[in-house]
Structure 1
Amino acid sequence: MQTLIRLSQFVGKTFALWAALLAVLGYLMPETFKMLLPLVPWLLGIVMFGMGLTLAPADFKILGQHPKAVVVGVLAQFLVMPFTAYVLALVFKLPPEIAVGVILVGSCPGGTASNVITYLARGNVALSVAVTSISTLLAPVLTPAIFYLLAHQWLDISAGKMFISILQMVLLPIVLGVAAHMFFKKQTEAATGMLPLVSVVSIILIIGAVVAGSKPKLADSGLLIFAVVILHNGIGYLLGFLAAKFSKLPYDAQKTLAIEVGMQNSGLGAALAAAYFGPLAAVPSAIFSVWHNISGSLLASYWAAKAQRQSAPE
């Protein structure tokens, strides 16, 4: 069991490597990975169920202790990334499917990987968990509403159907995970160490399936999507940091909200895009999954080194 837990921790820390590997394999062996496309919603459900298993009332204590920081984080999450995606789609004159994919990943809640990156960056982990959890719980309403507002000009979009999908793929698995934790606490806590492995395997399979399904068009649009994703992610970090700074939050909260805003639940974006708009629309989310873990790790390394220098005795 301890060996599996150590393997799980290793895989969780090297997520970006496995995500990039599966993206390459999906491109090289599309017929193998395209078979996974119908399973994408189920794979995302597994990730969300795992998130539900880890949630506890203590995760929301910070909402009562520091409500301002949580509110600023959630507002920034659902304002900065969607509108940044919309502006990038207009500036780069993106084709409809790609524009929709970029705006969709921007309209998603924060990703659970942000909690790990916040820890590595010496940020406020409790704040990170609270913002991720609350934005995820609000996603069934806010994600389709914001997405429809910004993206309906490109493609025909059913916000109602998307609302139902997010309930099924996100909220229901989380509720089931929380219930399982309540009724089978000892068993679920024993399995918690395995969750990074299960989550990483699920997400990288989604990435492989999405890349495989969009291979014919990736050769033409891959570099453009990658450039837009890098800008989207970087602007998210910057504006998240500035939102916290202008709100006069402490420095650890500024780092935390930068990470929370810049890192998205790209698995949800990929699942929704693949279900409603085709594999090409899911590619921005797939690339985001790879890139935000790389950029987040680099940012965390910088902030951790800075914190170590400041705490070192003169």
Structure 2
Amino acid sequence: MRVLSGVSSFAGRFFALFVIAAAIIAFLIPEPFMPINSYVPILLGIVMFGMGMTMKPVDFKRVAKQPIPVALGLVFQYTIMPLTALAIAYLLNLPPELAIGLVLLGSVPGGTSSNVMVYLAKGDLPLSISMTSLSTLVAPIATPAILYLLASQWMPVEFWAMFTMIVQVIIIPVTLGLLLRRFLPVIVEKTVTVMPLVSVLAILAIITGAVSSNAETLATAGFISFVAVMLHNGAGLALGYTAAYLVRLTPSQRRAVSIEIGMQNTGLGVTLATAHLSPLSVIPSVIGTAWHNITGPIMATYWAKRPLKEGDAPPQQGADINVSK
């Protein structure tokens, strides 16, 4: 178990490099990875089950203790990212499939790897965990509703089909993970340290399946998609911090909100696009998986070197870090 924990930690630190390598391999040699696409919902369910195992009731109690920062962060999450995606889609005149894929990427909840980045950035970790948990729980309604309102002009959006899938691959696995932690804590404590490895392997499988099935479209639309994702992610990080500043959140809370908004649950984006949209719409979430895990550590390193003033230090003590993507 100690060896697996070490491997798990290594995989988590170099996740972005593994994603890039896996995507390149699947792009160059797509045939072996194509069957994986059929198992994408199951793989994402495994990732979210791992997330549930790392969550505790205290994660939700924090919402009651500091409701205003969490509520503001949640509003920023589901307004800044989808509206920015819509603006970029128009600005770059993206094809309809890429446009709806980018809006989908902006409409999914925060990715849980953001919690690690917030911790490293000396941001408000409890706020980050609360935002991740709450945005994930409201995703079955928020994600398809936002996508329907903003992107149904490009192609049909099946609200109830997406709602059902998000419940199946997000809510049910997270709930099962929570229940396992509640009733079998000894087993969870022994296995939770290897969950980052399981999550990394599952996400890598999702990416290889998506890339292999869309190799031709990625070759033709990869550059403009990368530009769109890069602009979207940068805008999320900058606008998230600015919005938190304007509502007078503390410096540590601004860091948490910025990273939390900038890093999305790209695995859910890939899953929904694969199941309910066109092949080309998968590309923004595929690129986002790698790009978000490059800019996240960069921002964490930048802020880690800039100490907070006395009194602004975040309440890190006692907060568990969710490490699944």
Normalization by structure 2: what TM-score? 0.93
The residue aligned with 2:11 is 11
Q: Higher mean Cα deviation, 130-139 or 155-164?
A: 155-164
Contact 1:211–1:279 (CA under 8 A) maintained in structure 2: no
SS of aligned partner of 1:36: helix
In 2: Cα distance, 1:24 partner to 1:115 partner = 27
**Alpha-carbon deviations, 1:206-259, whole Å to 9, x = none?**
111111111111121100000000000000001110111111111000000000
Q: How does 1:233-248 map to 2 (within 5 A)?
A: 233-248=233-248
Task: Say yes or no: does 1:148 pair with 2:171.
Answer: no
In 2: Cα distance, 1:127 partner to 1:181 partner = 21
Contact 1:213–1:280 (CA under 8 A) maintained in structure 2: no
Task: Say yes or no: does 1:300 pair with 2:303.
Answer: no
In 1: Cα distance, 2:165 partner to 2:62 partner = 30
In structure 2, runs of 5+ residues without a counterpart are 312-325
Distance 1:60 1:103, change over 3 A: same
In 2: Cα distance, 1:65 partner to 1:40 partner = 37
Task: Indicate the RMSD between aligned Cα atoms, in angstroms.
Answer: 1.4
Give the AA of the match of 2:10.
F
Give the AA of the match of 1:6.
G
- Quote the offset at 1:279 in angstroms: 3.0
The residue aligned with 2:320 is none
The residue aligned with 1:114 is 114
- Quote the offset at 1:62 in angstroms: 2.2
The residue aligned with 1:86 is 86
The residue aligned with 2:321 is none
- Structure having the larger proportion of residues in helix: 1
In 2: Cα distance, 1:12 partner to 1:308 partner = 26
SS of aligned partner of 2:293: helix
The residue aligned with 1:101 is 101
- Quote the offset at 1:309 in angstroms: 11
The residue aligned with 1:55 is 55
The residue aligned with 1:283 is 283
Task: Say yes or no: does 1:65 pair with 2:65.
Answer: yes
- Quote the offset at 1:184 in angstroms: 1.0
Give the AA of the match of 1:17.
L
- Quote the offset at 1:278 in angstroms: 3.3
Runs of 4+ residues deviating >2 angstroms: 308-311
Q: Higher mean Cα deviation, 262-271 or 94-103?
A: 94-103
The residue aligned with 2:208 is 208
The residue aligned with 1:180 is 180
In 1: Cα distance, 2:279 partner to 2:18 partner = 20
Give the AA of the match of 2:226.
F
The residue aligned with 2:189 is 189
The residue aligned with 1:221 is 221
SS of aligned partner of 1:249: coil
- Quote the offset at 1:52 in angstroms: 0.8
In 1: Cα distance, 2:108 partner to 2:139 partner = 7
The residue aligned with 2:318 is none
- Quote the offset at 1:20 in angstroms: 0.6
Q: Higher mean Cα deviation, 74-83 or 301-310?
A: 301-310
The residue aligned with 2:170 is 170
- Quote the offset at 1:310 in angstroms: 9.3
Q: How many residues align?
A: 311
- Quote the offset at 1:65 in angstroms: 2.2
In 2: Cα distance, 1:83 partner to 1:160 partner = 22
Distance 1:293 1:98, change over 3 A: same
Task: Say yes or no: does 1:25 pair with 2:19.
Answer: no
Contact 1:76–1:261 (CA under 8 A) maintained in structure 2: yes
Contact 1:141–1:163 (CA under 8 A) maintained in structure 2: yes
Normalization by structure 1: what TM-score? 0.97
Q: How does 1:244-283 map to 2 (within 5 A)?
A: 244-283=244-283
Give the AA of the match of 1:303.
W
Contact 2:252–2:308 (CA under 8 A) maintained in structure 1: no
**Alpha-carbon deviations, 1:160-190, whole Å to 9, x = none?**
1111111111111111111111121110111
The residue aligned with 1:137 is 137
SS of aligned partner of 1:229: helix
Give the AA of the match of 1:119.
Y
Contact 2:266–2:285 (CA under 8 A) maintained in structure 1: yes
Contact 2:108–2:139 (CA under 8 A) maintained in structure 1: yes
Give the AA of the match of 2:139.
A
Contact 1:102–1:284 (CA under 8 A) maintained in structure 2: yes
The residue aligned with 1:43 is 43
In structure 1, runs of 5+ residues without a counterpart are none
SS of aligned partner of 2:306: helix
**Alpha-carbon deviations, 1:136-182, whole Å to 9, x = none?**
00000110000110110001111111111111111111111111111
